[in-house]
Amino acid sequence: MGPLDKFKDGSTLGVGQGLPRAAPSAKKLNPLYLLIFIPKNLLSYLTGVFVRIKFPAIMQSYINLGFVKLFGIDMTEAARSLGDYACIEDLFVRDLKPNSRKISGPYVSSADGRVEMSRAMTRDGALQAKGLTYKIDELIYGQRGEQTSKTSDLVPAWYTTVYLAPHNYHRVHAPFSGKLIRLRYIPGELWPVNRLAVTSVPRLFVRNERLVFEFELDQGARAWLVMVGALNVGRMSTHICPGFVTNSFSRLLAGKSANRELLPPNGGVTVAAGDELGVFMLGSTTVTVLDAKAVTYLNPREILSPQPVTMGQSLSVQ
C-alpha cells in the first residue's frame, strides 16, 4: 500500500481495512480511492444547489417524473401529487399521507430503509462492517482528541444502524419516547454511506458530519439518535433548531469548525416515539445508541443481517 491509501488520521483504505479483494489479474481500482482527491463537501453543496433549482411547472413535472422513475420511488404514500413539488429536493423530503406509518412498540425504527444491524456493543465498539469497527464516544462527541468530560457519562450497551436509500422516505423520527436534552452538530467529511463505502472506508460514521440527539428516558435511561450525513447534498436539518442546516455555504467558507451545541429551548423537548426529529436532503444513515438501562427498558431485538424496515416498525422483542 502506498501513500495514496492513507487518510489524514493515519488509517488506511485497503484490503486490511475491509476493501473487497479483487482477483490478482484484474487489479481493479476501487472508485472510492478517487474521492480522496475530491472536495466532497463542496461537491455535495453544489449538488444541493442544483436539486433546489425550480424550473417552470411543466418542465419540473417531467423532471420529477424522471427522478421518481430513476430511483423507483413509491409515490402512493406521498402527501402531495407529483406535480406539486417545486424542485427535486422538495420531492425528496416529501411528507407522507396521515397514518401511513404505525408506531408498533416502545422501540421502533427511526426511518424507512434497511436495518443493517441491531445488537449489543462489543469490546471493540460498534460494528460498521465485517472487519471494521468504530467507537461510539467518537460518534457522539467527536473524533479522536476532541472528546470532552461528557464521555465519562457515556456507557453504551446497544446500537441500531438504519440505512436510507435514495428511494426511501427521508424524514427521521424518534425511535422511543423521552426528553431531548441536547442537540449537537459535529462537522466532518461527506463520504458515501452505501455498502461499498461502509465495507471499505475505516471509521466512516465518525468521519462524516452528524447531528446528535441526546435523550433522557424513563427509569433513568439514556439514549442517542445520530443522523450521519453523506456525499451528494449532505444537508441535514431539524425543526428543533429553525434555520440551521448542515453543509451550508457559511460552513464551507469557515473551513474546519468545532462542534456546536444546538440546545433545545426551555431546557429540553419531550417527544413521543414517532415524532419527527430531522430531515435528510439525500440518502444516509441513522445510528441509535442505548445505555444498559435503556436496553432493559426498551428490550431491543437482535438483528444480525440486513432487512427492510419502515419508520415505526417495532425493533423490540415481542
For the annotated catalytic residues, the residue numbers are: 112, 173, 284
Cβ atoms within 10 Å, residue 282: 23
> Using an 8 Å Cβ cutoff, are 111 and 168 in contact?
yes
Q: Which residues of 134-162 are buried (b: 16+ CB within 10 A; e: fewer)?
A: bbbbbbbbbbeeebeeeeeebebbbbbbb
**Strand, helix or coil at 50?**
helix
Reduced to 3 states (helix: H, G, I; strand: E, B; else coil), residue 189 is: strand
Q: Which three cell numbers stand for residue 99?
A: 397514518
**Please, where are the H alpha helices in 21-107?**
40-51, 57-71, 88-92
- Cα dihedral: 59, 63, 66, 70 (round 10): 170
Q: Residues 68, 108, 136, 299: what is their CA dihedral angle, to the nearest 10 degrees?
A: -160
